[in-house]
Structure 1
């Protein structure tokens, strides 16, 4: 099995959190679903994610001065799916979008939206890895966690917060 096929199969079976990354561009709001978001550190507070192709929504996110990283939960499987498919309906009133005072498209029903600015980017083949500083966060109400595994979104039982 080739390295690419092995990587695809290995990560297809490895659950990951689901995020929605949004930004405002001169052409309007852009967004994409990402399962590659990870915490990097706290000094400075930073996270990382990767996007494939620097065109379309990914190009808009990469070109923006700031963006929001929404960490999604089970209530947002349909929104995550819409933003994962090219040409699907995005930023509709039914999805519940608003804008922060700073202009980024914001999903108020998300459990948290992290406002970020890019610090570093690294091209890796047709992908770009972004390291971004977390400037602040808007917290909402949490629901059951959602993960992406085997090309589908799955709800996990809520963790005991006792």
Structure 2
């Protein structure tokens, strides 16, 4: 029996969130912090569902949980910066994933051309204006139009795999 036939014959019905997370977690992703400056100061969130979407026009995408209290505040600003975290920035990733905390406490940053925080030490940053949002089930799919960006190419990215940060020998920043 061919692999595709075997896969079809072993269909088990509805996919549980736990099983989906387990299988899709096999795919390694980078980690970013999406940031903006709102009326109360800088705001940001950690995200691992970031990707380049289009070269012409220049677009990027990410998905954010519908339960996020930070995304609506960033949406209201209308522009944001995607900060691609470096391998040695695990603590920063964790800091921006916490609810209710001052996520920018002790964080050095400078404003992007659109005014959003560019975090010190990141691999790269991408300055965007919000272009579209789409329903993505329990997430919102965000499309950003790229207005400016920069990267050093000298630092290695922070990676996430199977529910944890990935340590690869020789990949420290």
Q: Tell me which interval the TM-score lies in, with the shorter structure as reference length.
A: 0.7 to 0.9
CA drift of 1:27 comes to: 2.2
1:79 equivalent in structure 2: 92
2:54 equivalent in structure 1: 41
Q: Tell me which of 27, 40, 55 is aligned to 2:40.
A: 27
Q: How far apart, CA to CA, are the structure 1 residues paired with 2:145 and 2:67?
A: 20
List runs of 5+ in structure 1 lacking aligned partners.
Answer: none
2:83 equivalent in structure 1: 70
CA drift of 1:33 comes to: 0.8
CA contact (8 A) 2:32 2:48 kept: yes
CA drift of 1:62 comes to: 2.3
Alignment RMSD: 2.0
Deviations 1:25-83 (A, max 9, x none): 11221111111001111100111100002642121222221100011111211100111
CA drift of 1:13 comes to: 2.7
CA contact (8 A) 1:16 1:148 kept: yes
- For the pair 1:113 / 2:138, whether they are aligned, the reply is no
Moved over 4 A (4+): none
Moved more, 10-19 or 53-62: 53-62
Moved more, 77-86 or 95-104: 95-104
Q: How far apart, CA to CA, are the structure 2 residues paired with 1:80 and 1:55?
A: 16
Count of residues in correspondence between the two structures: 157
Q: What TM-score does the superposition give when structure 1 sets the normalisation length?
A: 0.85
List runs of 5+ in structure 2 lacking aligned partners.
Answer: 1-11
Query: Tell me, what secondary structure is at the counterpart of 1:29?
Result: strand
